[in-house]
Amino acid sequence: MIDKRILDSAVAAILMAIGLAMLWGGATMDRLEIRRIHPASIPGLVPMFLGAAIFILAFVIFRVSRRQARADTDDAENRVLSGEVRSFAVVVLLAAIYALVLVGTLHFWLASSLFVFTFIMVAEWPRLGTQTARLKSAAAAAAVAVIVTGAISYMFEQGFLVRLP
């Protein structure tokens, strides 16, 4: 279980760092003097303002979330349950393997079929008690994976003339 307020302050701290980096990046950005542009139109002007604004607002949220975390009130609204974290991690892992590794390495249809089949089986597994149920579910998942991703691949490749990754 993670305390949402601690997560909130961690994200606010990251945003404060991004704000500072943007402020610094804007201030040190090339002012294009060599092109004799108007000094008020330098490319770093708006990033500087945005960096400062992000830093200030993230600092406000950081302070508020720290104060709330110290108040030590434990209610359901402020809890991120381990089940949710586990589901998030599993989906992100499967999605990352598919989108960042398999797509571009294997043919799109094959990569997508593997992903859809694995995703369905991983998500369904806790509900499948018997061997027969698992086999039935695997057959259904394989059918959905092959047919649906085949249809999507065909539609993009033949219908929209997209060269698939």
**Cα–Cα dist 118/115, whole Å:** 5
Residue 23's Cβ-count burial label (10 Å; 0-12, 13-18, 19+) is: buried
Can residue 133 be called a binding residue for other proteins (CB under 8 A)?
Answer: no
Can residue 95 be called a binding residue for other proteins (CB under 8 A)?
Answer: yes
Instruction: Give the DSSP H or E segment for 33.
Output: none
**Least CB distance to other proteins at residue 70 (A):** 16
The span from the first CA to the last CA of the chain, in angstroms, equals: 39
* Residue indicated by tokens 């009130």: 73
Closest CA to 69 of 19, 13, 15, 16: 13
Say if CB 50 and CB 20 are below 8 A apart: no
Can residue 93 be called a binding residue for other proteins (CB under 8 A)?
Answer: no
Can residue 97 be called a binding residue for other proteins (CB under 8 A)?
Answer: no
**Least CB distance to other proteins at residue 109 (A):** 10
Instruction: Give the DSSP H or E segment for 2.
Output: strand 2-3
Can residue 23 be called a binding residue for other proteins (CB under 8 A)?
Answer: no
Helix (H, G, I), strand (E, B), or coil: what is residue 29? Answer: coil
Can residue 160 be called a binding residue for other proteins (CB under 8 A)?
Answer: yes
Can residue 53 be called a binding residue for other proteins (CB under 8 A)?
Answer: yes
Instruction: Summarize as ranges the residues that interact with other proteins (CB under 8 A).
Output: 4, 7-8, 11, 15, 18, 22, 25, 29-30, 32, 35, 37-47, 50-51, 53-54, 57-58, 60-61, 64, 80, 83-84, 87-88, 91-92, 95-96, 98-100, 103-104, 108, 112, 115-116, 119-120, 123-124, 141, 144-145, 148-149, 152, 156, 159-165
